[in-house]
Amino acid sequence: IIAGYANMAMDIDHARSAILQKPDNAKHVCKWIGRRIVRAGLAICIDRDQRYSPDLWPCYCVFRDWYPDRAQDMLTALEMAVGDNPDVQIGLQLLDGLGRWISQEAHQKCR
């Protein structure tokens, strides 16, 4: 499962440029990358936790258990993924913070 997130940095970069270049599509991109970040959170924990779910809430719960210091940011990603009207500015901040961190973690786990 983690191998699917090895190039998460490219997804983060793509989402960031798409949000900035195509404001009309920004909310859709925020939802997409929010889902991607939440699922990547589960992927970096799965070898230790041995639980899997395709649903976002259980993915968040597993991540929260292993990374409580990052749980609030992941909750923001979850809210962005499922919300009807994600805040684009918060989405950009999330990409620069949790998004970059999670892409580094996923890359390291894939080595």
Give the model's pLDDT for residue 30. Answer: 94
- Mean of pLDDT over the chain: 91
8 Å CB contact between 56 and 78: yes
Reported confidence tier of residue 58, pLDDT bands at 50, 70, 90: very high
Give the model's pLDDT for residue 108. Answer: 86
Average pLDDT for residues 11-27, to the nearest whole number? 93
Closest C-alpha among 15, 51, 39, 47 to residue 102: 39
Reported pTM: 0.92
